[in-house]
Amino acid sequence: MGPMKWSQTLIPTSRQVPAEAVVPSHQLMLRAGLIRSIGAGLYDYLPLGWRVLQRVMNIVREEMNDAGASELLMPALIPIEFYADTRRDVDYGDNLFRLTDRHGRSAALGPTHEEVITELMKAYVTSYRQLPLNLYQIQTKYRDEFRPRFGVLRCREFLMKDAYSFHVEVDGPGGLNETYDRMYAAYCRIFDRCGLDYSIVEAESGPIGGSASHEFMCNSPVGEDTILKSDKGNYAANVEKCAIGDRPHDLSGAPTGERTKVHTPNLPGIEGVSDFLKVKPSRMLKTIVWPWRAGERNGWVIAVVCGHHDVNEAKVRDILRDQVDRSLTLQTEGSEGAARAAGFAIGYVSPSAAIGRSACVVIADPDAAQGGFWATGADEMDHHVNHFNWKREVLDKGVQVHVADIRNAMDGDPSPLNDGGVLRASKGIEVGHVFKLGTKYSDAMGFAVLDEKQQKRSVIMGCYGIGIGRIIASAIEMNHDENGIVWPAPIAPYDVIITPIKYEGEAREVTDRLESQISQAGLDVLVDDRDERPGPKFKDADLIGIPIRLTIGDKALAQGCVEVVKRDGSLGKGEMVRIEEVVSRCRSSR
Ligand code: ATP
Ligand code: MG
């Protein structure tokens, strides 16, 4: 990209820690003059930030092209009709930016592009001979995030690399699994090259849907996702997905006493009730009620976990489908109001609420499906009961209880591989996500091809996303110190910064000469030509984190040398290097 003089570009550094920024990457991106906010979740990328973005995009492009993907560009503005068949405009909810044009036509700003690319493929691809194909773009995405925060980590307009692959088969050459594995490997190379420390975890597929997926999570305390990894190193998953190992259960335990009702007014939440009853949350039962539907039929699900655990909605959905009845689907939208209207004492529901209700499915987590003392709701507003007993209160009254893993995993839980591994919880920033979509989109949008026997076959899809801006912020989260950013060399905005103590006389001549020699050697160099004192110049160089700094001062010049300092501290306070050796030193330590 060529050399640059500091005075000829815009690098508005600042010593002040901006009040609005709470995480280090956000603070440093503002302070180093990489970005500027123009509104909630909207950012200018200033020249330094843009250079980093370009380097990251180059890495992503190289690896995508190497993996056999082909680049294209689709519009951000998407006519709403594209969502007619997939209904994803509804599924995406308020996160979808919508607008109306001058002719009254509705459109959305794309949060991802499954519909647009499926439509494109449908227009041109009719035979199995044209597949497999893997297409990608690097393009601006829009999401009206409820809570944009942490700078470019969660914003409303951001650059994403999104790739989509199309296949006739899942297995074998040209199948989805082959491309998925190649993309998975390409993602590893991308994140390695960007200097990230990451974990790969099994993931839920969310509103994009599909059958299998992995997330690439930067290991960082500022991450918004909770991930669990087995201490045996053979299993890792997002908490949204993480299964828990076998746990014994027993619903036959004898009662611990008479079921006694207690008045518990004005006590919101488990904690309040727990204090009031003097019962630990782990000895309380927590219930969630959802309607289910199957065509014309409908009924209820009562999910039961311990008071200190959280119900995992996706697990309940899957158990209902896989272990109770294939045709049942969980209705989560507006479920609380519906349950209240049907007479459930929301906030005070116990498993006994199933008694006398036909088509009511009770699913209990194994930890909750135990004997011993339990406190729970009394199925009556402002009341709880002590000494709830599964056998007496539920089983003996003719209600069947399904016992299954339906809660979020926690630190210390057994690994689902049941190999003695223990799950450990940590935080992650999701930088990339690969999905096996299956035929969700092609079926919805009628995209099929003829196979070799002239039979119509639904096209099998995969999709693969990377947050370009998130990579940058994540790289800073894991590569900074008290003085500023310490860029991993491949994504630094410049490779070398030359800092003449005074940009005049011999120092100026040497600076200019090195500037052109270093850039001829293929490195990007920034010259701090400002008329500033050396102290602030050094501070700024540290803040913006350029990997190599050349200090040009009279003392060193008198010995035919310049001082080489590495931002990662590997040369200590610096090393005197002969001028004629500087270029090769810069090249070799890149
Ligand atoms: P999240 O769970 O963090 O909201 P997501 O799972 O909805 O993200 P995907 O639909 O998988 O995101 O999008 C692909 C990638 O785009 C993500 O892995 C992430 O790197 C990036 N990304 C998603 N949302 C944002 C955002 N609001 N700001 C910046 N990058 C984002
Ligand atoms: Mg995702």
Residue 173 is predicted with a pLDDT of 96
Contact 503, 553 (CB under 8 A): no
430 Cβ below 6 A of ligand 1: yes
Residue carrying structure tokens 């790289």: 475
141 Cβ below 6 A of ligand 1: no
Average predicted confidence (pLDDT) for the chain: 95
Nearest ligand 1 atom, CA 224: 3
155 Cβ below 6 A of ligand 1: yes
Question: Mean pLDDT, to the nearest integer, of 352-357?
Answer: 93
Residue 430 Cα to ligand 1 middle (Å): 7
Contact 27, 21 (CB under 8 A): yes
**Residues 144, 199 within the same domain:** yes
**Residues 172, 49 within the same domain:** yes
Provide the domain limits for residue 271: 260-403
CB hemisphere CA count around 456 (13 angstroms): 6
Q: Is the pLDDT of residue 1 over 90?
A: no
* Within-domain flag for 238: yes
This model's pTM is above 0.85: yes
Residue 207 is predicted with a pLDDT of 53
Question: Mean pLDDT, to the nearest integer, of 91-103?
Answer: 94
* Within-domain flag for 282: yes
Q: Which residues, listed in sequence order, are joined to residue 140 by a DSSP beta bridge? A: 159
**Residues 306, 238 within the same domain:** no
**Residues 311, 436 within the same domain:** no
Ligand 1 binding pocket mutation candidate from 159, 164, 470, 474 (most atoms within 8 A of CB) = 470
**Residues 194, 142 within the same domain:** yes
pLDDT tens for each residue of 51-65: 999 999 999 999 999
* Within-domain flag for 450: yes
Question: Mean pLDDT, to the nearest integer, of 473-497?
Answer: 98
Contact 467, 160 (CB under 8 A): yes
Q: How many domains does the chain have?
A: 3
* Within-domain flag for 503: yes
CATH number for the domain that contains residue 524:
3.40.50.800
389 Cβ below 6 A of ligand 1: no
* Residue 267 tokens, joined: 């006590």
**Residues 228, 342 within the same domain:** no
**Residues 221, 75 within the same domain:** yes
Bridge-based pairing state of the strands 525-527 and 496-500? parallel
Burial 213-237 (b: 16+ CB within 10 A, else e): bbbbbbbbebbebbbbbbeeeebbb
| Nearest ligand to the C-alpha atom of residue 432 | 1
The CA-based dihedral angle spanning residues 47, 50, 51, 57, taken in that order and rounded to the nearest 10 degrees: -170
**Residues 225, 78 within the same domain:** yes
471: nearest Cα among 442, 440, 426, 432: 432
* Within-domain flag for 215: yes
Residue 52 Cα to ligand 1 middle (Å): 19
Ligand 1 binding pocket mutation candidate from 155, 430, 434 (most atoms within 8 A of CB) = 430
Question: Mean pLDDT, to the nearest integer, of 272-283?
Answer: 94
**Residues 225, 338 within the same domain:** no
Residue 205 is predicted with a pLDDT of 72
Q: Going by CA atoms, what residue is nearest to atom 23 of ligand 1? A: 467
* Residue 306 tokens, joined: 């311990």
**Residues 48, 86 within the same domain:** yes
Please enumerate in sequence order all residues whose Cβ is within 8 A of that of 320, keeping only pairs 6 or more positions apart, or say none. Answer: 292, 301, 328, 329, 330, 361, 363
pLDDT tens for each residue of 513-570: 999 999 999 999 999 999 999 999 999 999 999 999 999 999 999 999 999 999 999 9
* Within-domain flag for 302: yes
What burial class does residue 5 get, using C-beta atoms within 10 Å of its C-beta: 0-12 exposed, 13-18 middle, 19+ buried?
middle
Residue 373 Cα to ligand 1 middle (Å): 43
Question: Mean pLDDT, to the nearest integer, of 255-264?
Answer: 94
| Nearest ligand to the C-alpha atom of residue 158 | 1
Q: Which residues, listed in sequence order, are joined to residue 329 by a DSSP beta bridge? A: 293
**Residues 457, 380 within the same domain:** no
**How many whole angstroms separate alpha carbon 100 and alpha carbon 303?**
42
CA torsion sign for 207, 210, 211, 212 is negative
CATH number for the domain that contains residue 264:
3.90.960.10
Residue 212 is predicted with a pLDDT of 87
Residue 322 is predicted with a pLDDT of 87
pLDDT tens for each residue of 108-124: 999 999 999 999 999 99
CATH number for the domain that contains residue 146:
3.30.930.10
310 Cβ below 6 A of ligand 1: no
Question: Mean pLDDT, to the nearest integer, of 333-352?
Answer: 92
Residue 325 is predicted with a pLDDT of 86
* Within-domain flag for 117: yes
Under DSSP, is residue 451 helix (H, G, I), strand (E, B) or coil?
A: coil
471 Cβ below 6 A of ligand 1: no
Question: Mean pLDDT, to the nearest integer, of 409-438?
Answer: 97
Residue 269 is predicted with a pLDDT of 85
The confidence band for 210, taking pLDDT boundaries of 50, 70 and 90, is: low
**Residues 228, 84 within the same domain:** yes
Ligand 1 binding pocket mutation candidate from 160, 434, 477 (most atoms within 8 A of CB) = 160
* Within-domain flag for 481: no
Residue 118 Cα to ligand 1 middle (Å): 21
Residue 510 is predicted with a pLDDT of 97
Ligand 1 binding pocket mutation candidate from 433, 437, 466 (most atoms within 8 A of CB) = 433
Q: Is the pLDDT of residue 97 over 80?
A: yes
Nearest ligand 1 atom, CA 112: 10
